[in-house]
A = this chain, B = another copy of it.
Amino acid sequence: MKNREGGFLISKVKQISGRIFDKKLKSYDITDLNSAQGRIIFVLWKKNNQSISDLATNTALSKTTLSSMLNRLEQAGHINRAFDKNDKRKTIISLTEKSKLLKRKYEDVSNEMIDLFYEGLSDKQIDEFEHALKHILNNLISFEGKQK
């Protein structure tokens, strides 16, 4: 069997791109949001008003991680917490105007990042790469789901 090292490669890509993304955010004067927080805001841009469990699913972070990160995002004025009237256990997270205004700039950074990421790969290669990534992600999600 071949010597595979996808997981190791992914870890390295994640590590370096996080550091680069953080620097790019600062160079665009986004100083009160880092890349990890950006991931959360990003899924809220896609769909506002999500419960914390929804966010856990959509960011792939644990609920406990979100709990503390949302505290900081709330403190910094990026998100609000509200109660769900139909289910008192739930907390609904929504974006503030402040974070809505960040969207354009953040997307510029994202695009710069994506350009760097995929430099030298053809559209076809990128398509196939992201297709494989989604496949892998689904493998992992369904495995983790089964574990419970």
Contact = CB atoms under 8 A, between A and B. Distances in A.
A19 interface: yes
Chain A: interface secondary structure? helix
A101 interface: no
A33 to B, nearest CB: 15
A134 B16 CA distance: 13
Number of copies: 2
Contacts of A118: 4, 6, 136, 139
A7 B137 contact: no
Contacts of A4: 114, 117-118, 126, 130
Contacts of A59: 12, 15
Interface string A96-113: 000000000000001001
A144 B18 CA distance: 11
A59 B140 CA distance: 23
Contacts of A139: 116-120
A141 interface: yes
A136 B116 CA distance: 8
Given A6-B126, A14-B14, A19-B62, 4 more contacts: A7-B114, A7-B117, A10-B133, A129-B129
Top 8 closest A-B pairs, CB basis? A12-B60, A129-B132, A14-B14, A16-B140, A15-B60, A9-B133, A4-B114, A119-B139
